Amino acid sequence: MGRGARRVAVWFCLAVVAELSNHATVSAADGTPQNVAEAVTIATELAKATGTTGQAALAAQADRISGIPADWIVPCLAAFSDATPAGGNWLRSGIERAVERAGDSLSADALMAVVADRKQPARVRTLVFGWLKDRDPSRAAGLLDGMLDDPALDLRREAVERKLAAVAAADEATQKAAHRECLAVARDVDQIERVAAWLSEHGEKVNVAEVLGFVRNWRVSEEFDNAKGVGFAKAYPPEAALPARPETEQWKPVASADKHGAIDLNAAIATKKGVLAYAVADVVMPRSGPAEVRIGSPCAVAVWVNGKPAMAHEIYHASEAIDQYVVTAEFREGTNTVMVKCCQNEQTEPWAADWKFQLRVCDPLGSPLATQPAHEKGPE
């Protein structure tokens, strides 16, 4: 090879090296992460996303995560632990594309290990269970057999459904035993009601309100003024001397017979508009510490626990659902006092007629914690 040819060859090689170097730099900045640590860092930052700003940048980061190899996927899942709602969605969009690209190279054993580890966040375990079910349905189904008490509620729900399906063709005694077991562990209201209905149809009466843990026995005050909404922020006598003790003749005992524990103030007091009332109940807790107070109402409500404010929501007739509002409050072991302020406005539409609330005290999974003193037991 002549000197000129060698010079051309050298320049060609240098050009190739420069191009490859430039490509690597671009890849490191905008393309697939270069190592698992970088992938985890990107996932962690993506999981912190909030609001609607910077959407293009977030989409680009999710695209980068979508290109990671199969064995980096599980380490990146740790970012879900502290993810914001928006960040979790962005991270999931990238991770799920990475899972799709990985195909069979994503180890089912690795997925099994994540799902089986109850210390992992429920969101992660539920997500990974779906991937496992797509790849190896029989192994996924086998895991469900041990998930009737799982802390991931979506997995628990699937375990209950699998248990019930497994005994569908069995004799009645076997089916009853399975339904009783599922009733004790189910936490989704619709699933509890379905299991309870089956048991009732087969001769076993179930008190759904008791299973769900609603506080059903209260003492209800007289009505107070809430014309033009003035009463929500006003401290009437029951909240001016907290904790309130409803021992005067202006308070009446009200027991709920509703399957969802609703206290109907229209029935207890009168069907009126622009008014409010207080309701007080004693509940017994098995131990001291935090617990979730869960209330549902179409009206504006405030709640106190042992005289301390727990929550307040001045919203009228926007929606109504079980566990509509949830707050964590401190309770003491033994008897505690819960007070609700329920305000009705002056809307006249038929759908704004209800003046009621329902309340229960649960752990974070929705397991009932509070009972009521024997002298305040609800209707059977």
Question: Cα–Cα distance between 112 and 129 in angstroms, integer?
Answer: 8
Identify the band that residue 373 occupies on the pLDDT scale cut at 50, 70 and 90.
confident
So what's the pLDDT on residue 76? 96
So what's the pLDDT on residue 17? 31
Sheet holding 356-362, edge to edge: 263-264, 356-362, 289-296, 325-331
pLDDT digits (tens, 9 = 90+) for 183-201: 999 999 999 999 999 999 9
Environment class of residue 240 by beta-carbon count within 10 Å: exposed (0-12), middle (13-18) or buried (19+)?
Answer: exposed
Identify the band that residue 32 occupies on the pLDDT scale cut at 50, 70 and 90.
confident
Question: If you ran DSSP here, which 8-state letter would residue 244 be given?
Answer: P
pLDDT digits (tens, 9 = 90+) for 336-349: 999 999 999 999 99
So what's the pLDDT on residue 5? 43
So what's the pLDDT on residue 41? 95
So what's the pLDDT on residue 21? 33
Residue 2 has pLDDT above 60, yes or no: no
Residue 353 has pLDDT above 80, yes or no: yes
Residue position matching structure tokens 């909240």: 239
Q: Are 115 and 136 in contact (CB under 8 A)?
A: no
So what's the pLDDT on residue 9? 39
* Angle of the 189-201 helix axis to the 172-185 helix axis, nearest 10: 150
Instruction: Locate 69 and state its tokens.
Output: 């190899």
In the chain the beta strands, taken as DSSP E runs, fall at 217-220, 224-225, 252-255, 263-264, 275-285, 289-296, 300-305, 308-313, 325-331, 334-343, 356-362
pLDDT digits (tens, 9 = 90+) for 202-242: 999 999 999 999 999 999 999 999 999 999 999 999 988 76
Range with lowest mean pLDDT among 48-52, 70-74, 115-119, 132-136: 48-52
Question: Cα–Cα distance between 175 and 180 in angstroms, integer?
Answer: 9
Question: If you ran DSSP here, which 8-state letter would residue 241 be given?
Answer: S
The answer to whether the Cα torsion of 73, 75, 79, 80 is positive or negative is positive
So what's the pLDDT on residue 319? 84
So what's the pLDDT on residue 376? 57
CATH number of 217-376: 2.60.120
Residue position matching structure tokens 């329920």: 342
Range with lowest mean pLDDT among 87-91, 235-239, 241-245, 284-288: 241-245
Question: Cα–Cα distance between 184 and 194 in angstroms, integer?
Answer: 13
Peptide bond into 243 cis (omega under 30): yes
Question: Cα–Cα distance between 267 and 344 in angstroms, integer?
Answer: 14
pTM over 0.85: no
Question: Cα–Cα distance between 322 and 128 in angstroms, integer?
Answer: 29
Average pLDDT over every residue of 42-58: 90
- More reliable by pLDDT, 18 or 244: 244
So what's the pLDDT on residue 243? 66
Instruction: Locate 279 and state its tokens.
Output: 């309701």
So what's the pLDDT on residue 52? 75
Identify the band that residue 247 occupies on the pLDDT scale cut at 50, 70 and 90.
low
| 181 CB-near residues (< 8 Å, 6+ apart) | 148, 163
Average pLDDT of the chain, as a whole number: 89
pLDDT digits (tens, 9 = 90+) for 157-177: 999 999 999 999 999 999 999
So what's the pLDDT on residue 240? 81
Question: Cα–Cα distance between 86 and 84 in angstroms, integer?
Answer: 5
Instruction: Please report the DSSP string for 86-123 in residue order.
Output: HHHHHHHHHHHHHHHHHGGGS-HHHHHHHHH-TTS-HH
